[in-house]
Amino acid sequence: MSSMITAAQWVPRGFAAQFPQIYKLDESEFERIAELAKLQLNDAEDDLKEAQDDDDEEAEEGDEGKDEDMGDKEEEDKKTAKPATKYAYFDDDDLKEYDLEHYDDDDEDDAPTANGSMGMFGNVKSLAYYESNKDDPYITLQDEEDDEEREDLQVLATDNLILSAKVEDELAHLEVYVYEDESDNLYVHHDIMLPAIPLCVEWLDIPVNASGNVPKDARGNFVAVGTMDPDIEVWDLDTIDCMYPNAILGQGANPSSGEKKKKKKSKKAKANDEYHVDAVLSLAANRKHRNLLASASADKTIKLWDLNTAKCAKSYSYHTDKVCSLAWHTAEPTVLLSGSYDRTIVAADMRAPDAKAPRWGVESDVENIRWDPHDQNYFYVSTENGIIHYHDVRNAPATPEATKAVWTLQAHDESVSSFDINSVIPGFMATGSTDKTVKLWNIQPTGPSLVVSRNLDVGKVFATSFAPDPEVAFRLAVAGSSGSMHVWDTSTNPGVRSAFGQRVPAPKEGAAEDRLVGVNDDESSSSEDEGDENNQDEGDSMDED
């Protein structure tokens, strides 16, 4: 595996700190990190001991005969060996002056040497004086470096952040991009190391910490990350170079309690009401009840987390297979839509977990689900077979097999691995597929029609996401199996302008055609068929029910 982006999400303007803080370790944070590190170290030592015990048992019988021969050889070597020293490549006379064999020994009084100095380190106090003397006009280098670094980290109010879950050479991390729309600039601002392959990210506008005690109306800039591990990590996006997450949602949340995680070799834990026991495939923050975060897992359960306490508030089992996608209803914020590999979609009220929830069926595994932001009586479903379904939540079928969609669209020949509905421009949909193409659709009362199809050279497309702010509503972030992130200004495409020009203000004059911004901006990195501007026939390949 060389490089791959598995998920991406925009952060709205105005939430990121203008000058993010560089992480500094204080005493309380050191104690928390020490507990986490100790837990990880203990687990690693236990695993190593088990492996060594297994090896010793296998080799014990074969080594019995060799020990006697080796013992005789060691006695002979001792007679001829020279005195060992870790500084053997120096002459003894050269080393006597410094007494390096004892330089690690602690001396309570820091006693000086015979000549009254501290040997080679005798000038440390003098150096410390000049380092701390801030009145010295010649010592300005440190302040200049701090100011320059602070300026480099600045995030303007007109900038957007884009969160990117990335795997690179088996190293997992979250990249935080800054997108400067006016200057067509996209760059990695900082990154966060992750413990396992990331599968989903969800931006949070509320501060989260392990101890709770978060003010009710507090505003923050945080991210929750789901990985192949069952725990969910929550990080502060305004703090750089953090060593550990601000909070962990799951079994690994309280290392100080002495509870150890299940060993990888041990029997797989069963699904329960307290935490996930398998990979976290989807996360959904509730924008009305801001302290609630929903998570979907390969353990077939949905968990509802209270971010004020970092505890699981409720667990739900609506599906019989992996749950892969979640979406909160914005008008009815207690209703959660969930999609699963059991080929069903459920719309359940979280206040009534025992009530029978309406259920819809599709022809293959669900990939993603979205509510229609312009009419939340409807929702979209994408599937592994490349189909988009559009359903009316008010017309729930008696059984999943009796499901009848408002319309279905064969959007791609392969899986629709990602798609998004523009929240600002009505009827504007983008789909991304493992066939490596991104398609833009115009959804009208009669159904969707294709506007343009492009291969943006990101490999298999795993992330397609419209910017959330009206000023950049036409910007589409696209990423995939090549590990590269691009922002496509779709308003520079003639087909898009023709389809949606009357629904929003016209783009600025003189804009370059098909503007595409990447970290390494390479004009040759994207291609478009000449016939894309003429709607392809497949755009009309739609079954209306």
What structural domains and CATH numbers belong to the chain? Answer: 3-24+153-257+268-544 (2.130.10.10)
* Cα–chain center distance at 54: 37
Distance CA 231, CA 246 (A): 13
Q: Which of 34-48, 153-167, 190-204 has the lowest mean pLDDT?
A: 34-48
Dihedral sign, Cα of residue 27, residue 30, residue 34, residue 35: positive
What's the DSSP call for residue 456?
-
Q: Does residue 50 or residue 165 have the better pLDDT?
A: 165
Distance CA 129, CA 217 (A): 46
Helices H, strands E: what count in the chain?
A: 5, 31
Pair 341, 364: CB distance under 8 Å: no
Q: How confident is the model at residue 12 (pLDDT cuts 50, 70, 90)?
A: very high
As a whole number of Å, the CA-based R_g of the chain is: 30
- Using one digit for the tens of pLDDT, what is the confidence trace for 407-443? 999 999 999 999 999 999 999 999 999 999 999 999 9
- Using one digit for the tens of pLDDT, what is the confidence trace for 344-401? 999 999 998 888 899 999 999 999 999 999 999 999 999 999 999 999 999 999 999 9
Q: How confident is the model at residue 471 (pLDDT cuts 50, 70, 90)?
A: very high
Nearest to 245 by CA among 291, 286, 198, 281: 198
- Using one digit for the tens of pLDDT, what is the confidence trace for 446-469? 899 999 999 999 999 999 999 999
Which pLDDT does position 70 carry in this prediction?
58
Which pLDDT does position 257 carry in this prediction?
38
Pair 345, 339: CB distance under 8 Å: yes
Tell me which long-range contacts 170-179 makes (C-beta under 8 A, separation of at least 24): 170/1, 172/196, 172/197, 172/198, 172/227, 174/198, 174/201, 174/223, 174/225, 174/235, 175/485, 176/237, 177/485, 177/519, 179/467, 179/472, 179/475, 179/477, 179/487, 179/517
Percentage above 90 pLDDT, the chain: 56
Dihedral sign, Cα of residue 413, residue 459, residue 12, residue 292: positive
The dihedral region occupied by 226, where left means phi > 0, alpha psi between -120 and 50, and beta the remainder, is: beta
Q: How confident is the model at residue 30 (pLDDT cuts 50, 70, 90)?
A: low
Write down the residue that tokens 């010649």 correspond to: 138
Pair 347, 335: CB distance under 8 Å: yes
Strand-strand pairing, 171-180 and 323-328: unpaired
Rounded to 5°, angle at Cα 308 from 153 and 468: 50
Collapse the DSSP code of 523 into the 3-class scheme (helix H, G, I; strand E, B; otherwise coil) and give the result: helix
Which pLDDT does position 137 carry in this prediction?
56
Which pLDDT does position 540 carry in this prediction?
43
44-53, 140-149, 327-336 — which one is most confidently predicted on average? 327-336
Neighbours of 464 (CB within 10 A): 28
Which pLDDT does position 89 carry in this prediction?
40
Pair 392, 368: CB distance under 8 Å: no
Which pLDDT does position 143 carry in this prediction?
55
**What is the pTM (predicted TM-score) of this model?**
0.73
| 66: Cβ contacts below 8 Å, ≥ 6 apart | none
Mean pLDDT confidence for 24-34: 67
Which pLDDT does position 86 carry in this prediction?
37
Distance CA 225, CA 192 (A): 11
Q: How confident is the model at residue 153 (pLDDT cuts 50, 70, 90)?
A: confident
Q: What are residue 390's DSSP bridge partners?
A: 380, 407
Strand-strand pairing, 239-240 and 21-22: parallel
Distance CA 353, CA 355 (A): 6
Stated length of the chain: 545
Pair 464, 438: CB distance under 8 Å: yes
Report the mean per-residue pLDDT for the chain. Answer: 80
Which pLDDT does position 387 carry in this prediction?
98
Residue 103: pLDDT over 70 = no
Kindly list the distances between the CA atom of residue 280 and the CA atoms of 86, 284, 340, 483, in Å, as whole numbers in the listed order: 50, 12, 13, 21
- First-residue to last-residue Cα distance in the chain: 43
Distance CA 312, CA 250 (A): 8
Pair 483, 493: CB distance under 8 Å: no
Residue 134: pLDDT over 60 = no
